[in-house]
Amino acid sequence: MNIDEPTSLRAEVLARLLLVQSTAAHLPDEAAIVAFTCRGLEMVPGVRRAWSQSDPPPAEPLSPNLVGFELRFGGTEFGAVCLELYCPNEFATYSPHVQNLLFVVALMLEERRQRRMMEEHQRQLELRIQERTRQLSEEKERLQVTLNSIGDGVITTNAHGNVVEMNPIAQELTGWSLEEARGRPLEEVFVLADERQFRTSLAPGARTQPPSTLEYADSSQLMARHGKRYAVSTSRSTMTDRDGTPLGTVLVFHDMTERLRLIEQTQRAERLDAIGILAGGIAHDFNNLLSGIFGYLGLARELATDNEQAAALDEATGVFERARELTRQLLTFSKGGSPVRSAIDLRKLLTDCSRFALSGSNVSLNLRIAPNLTSVAADANQLWRVIDNLIRNAVQAMPQGGAISLEADLVELGKPHHPALTPGQYAKITVKDNGPGIPPEILPRVFDPFFTTKEHGTGLGLATAYSVVRKHEGHIDVASSPEEGTRFDIYLPLAMTNTASVVPPKSLREHNGKGRALVLDDEPYLCTLFTRYLSRMGYRVTAVQSGEEAMAAFDGAIAERDPITVALLDLTIPGGMGGKEVIARIRPRMPSLVAIAASGYSEDPVMAKPADFHFTASLGKPFSIAELATILDTFVK
């Protein structure tokens, strides 16, 4: 392009005005535009000075040398541009062009005003968006924290039933991470084994009514990705927008596994307690009956003159021994027979017991006892019986041979492991075999009394073990699977409550007595039997069936100056004063009285430590005349 020279002054002025118009549009703000324009107008012939003002120009010119031009577009006023003229006539030629220029400038100013308003509106909008975004972010953060904090699993889906969000509990229970699960169908991530699947895909445009948006399932089996199963209670609700259009679903599920386990254990404990009370009552009465039979069998054996009769009675006595053992187990299982705890060397007990129980078997033993677990407070006899029973069961479960693991550890239970266990230190004894396991349908019943799968089993072994552990304020758990065999975990509290030792058994002796003896038993036939025992030893016997009668007999004998020297006192007299109360009252007046406690509850503390209860000795029913004679011969001077 060639640049030509200006052709005339008029053309040059018009070109200047056009250039002002073009260039002003390029300037950044209204003030710059107006100032630029004013300075440009000062180059118009006839104009000495140009300036702007915010007020509109006066209606009439103040003087011929002073003119004002309104800056106005539409209804918007932008003030005025004023010109001071040194030659109004020369300016008059250009006045219409200046008028046009200032109209265009007013248009620019309006455009800038509009642009500024839009920019301000945009800024306000952005501020609102920022604020709303911040609020949403905080809300999302709060929701996320809430989701992550709650103890239930939560999964949300979109309207197509695909996973959108999962909290950590849901990820743990399902075995899916959020990254893996996101976008997958809910049915693939949340798999129920025994319930119909939730219908999670919502038809577009479907409407739901609020009352029907919740679906509950109290007990379902969730099959986690890693194969584990959880008992879960679930609820599902549909999320909708304001118009009722489904947006997705929220699935909330609670892991009921532990709760159900505790409920089951509590129910089992209650059931066994009830059975124990029943069995205890029956066993006690049965034991008394056995005592009578046993006693009279013994007497008959002593009176027998015929060898054949004697052999038959010996045979009957042998069979009777088995009945007596059964009754003892029943009594141990029942509510009676509190353990007599002492500090026992657990290492020695487990070593001796396992060696004894495994002798002659083709089962190997892996014994491990934590070094920091030296002793526990337990009834050695009862604990022996429990461990012996568990090991023998394991051996019987592996007729082809196998391995048994017997382990003991010191554990700290921080939170309730079982309703019956309080937090604290426990000895945990584990007996584990690698046998075929216990079928799942049988497992819940293994501790039930009289439940057995063995041809000649009594069904009291595990029931007794359960009872013994419970009476030690402990707990026993069983877990079993075909792959891993059967495992029993026993928890025994370490707190010491008693440090008594077990009285060693004595060899049987005969006894010749004299003087007066008292028999207290609520069963008439036992009164008769024990009277005959003592009479045969040479005593003059008074038999009573209540504590009150016993006290009267003692008082009468003292008054007659022919005191009772030997007393055989039954501990349990239904509805009245028993032997324990009687001896507590009479002992201060008769310090030399030989008082024998008799009871069917062999684990009763009185039986284990009779001296602590003012007795001389104790005898567990049923007992033979020889056993009574041995005790009396020991203590009667």
Partner 1 sequence: MKDGKRLVDLGFVSARVPAGSHICQIYSDSVERDHALLNFLSSGLRAGEKTACFWADFDENSARDWFAAEQIAFDDERASGHLSTSCAESVYFENGHFAPERVLELLVAFHEAAIHAGHPGARVIGEMSPRIREVEGGARLFEYESRVNAVIRQRPVTAVCQYDARAFDGATIMDVLSVHPMMVIHGNVVQNPFFTPPEQFAYR
Q: Binding residues for partner 1, per CB under 8 A?
A: 1-4, 6, 12-13, 15-16, 19-20, 22-24, 26-28, 31-40, 43
Question: Cβ of residue 56: shortest distance to partner 1, in angstroms?
Answer: 21
Measured from the CB atom, is 26 or 456 closer to partner 1? 26
C-alpha 350: how far from chain center:
31
Measured from the CB atom, is 27 or 250 closer to partner 1? 27
How is residue 342 written in tokens? 């002492």
- For 559, left (φ over 0), alpha (ψ -120 to 50), or beta? alpha
* CA–CA separation, 453 and 431 (whole Å): 20
Q: Which residues make beta-bridge pairs with 598? A: 570, 619
Q: Which residues make beta-bridge pairs with 602? A: none
Question: Cβ of residue 225: shortest distance to partner 1, in angstroms?
Answer: 51
Measured from the CB atom, is 6 or 183 closer to partner 1? 6
* CA–CA separation, 385 and 469 (whole Å): 11
| Structural Rg of the chain based on CA atoms | 51
Q: Are 167 and 146 in contact (CB under 8 A)?
A: no
Question: Cβ of residue 148: shortest distance to partner 1, in angstroms?
Answer: 45
Question: Cβ of residue 76: shortest distance to partner 1, in angstroms?
Answer: 20
Measured from the CB atom, is 44 or 617 closer to partner 1? 44
Cα dihedral sign for 525, 527, 530, 532? Answer: negative
Measured from the CB atom, is 36 or 320 closer to partner 1? 36
The 3-state DSSP class for residue 408 equals: strand
Helix 524-537 vs helix 625-635: crossing angle, to nearest 10: 60
Question: Cβ of residue 54: shortest distance to partner 1, in angstroms?
Answer: 16
- Continuous segment of H or E residues that includes residue 617: strand 617-620
Measured from the CB atom, is 51 or 320 closer to partner 1? 51
Question: Cβ of residue 248: shortest distance to partner 1, in angstroms?
Answer: 46
Q: Taking CA 443 as the corner, what is the angle to CA 440 and CA 444, rounded to the nearest 5 degrees?
A: 115
Measured from the CB atom, is 114 or 481 closer to partner 1? 114
How is residue 571 written in tokens? 């501990």
For the chain, how far is it from start to end, CA to CA, in angstroms? 149
Question: Cβ of residue 121: shortest distance to partner 1, in angstroms?
Answer: 22
Helix locations, 26-177, DSSP H: 30-41, 88-92, 95-149, 168-174
Measured from the CB atom, is 33 or 313 closer to partner 1? 33
Q: Are 621 and 286 in contact (CB under 8 A)?
A: no
Question: Cβ of residue 85: shortest distance to partner 1, in angstroms?
Answer: 18
Q: Which residues make beta-bridge pairs with 599? A: 620
* CA–CA separation, 471 and 332 (whole Å): 10
Number of H helices, E strands in the chain: 17, 21
Question: Cβ of residue 75: shortest distance to partner 1, in angstroms?
Answer: 25
Question: Cβ of residue 30: shortest distance to partner 1, in angstroms?
Answer: 10
Measured from the CB atom, is 10 or 229 closer to partner 1? 10
Measured from the CB atom, is 21 or 354 closer to partner 1? 21
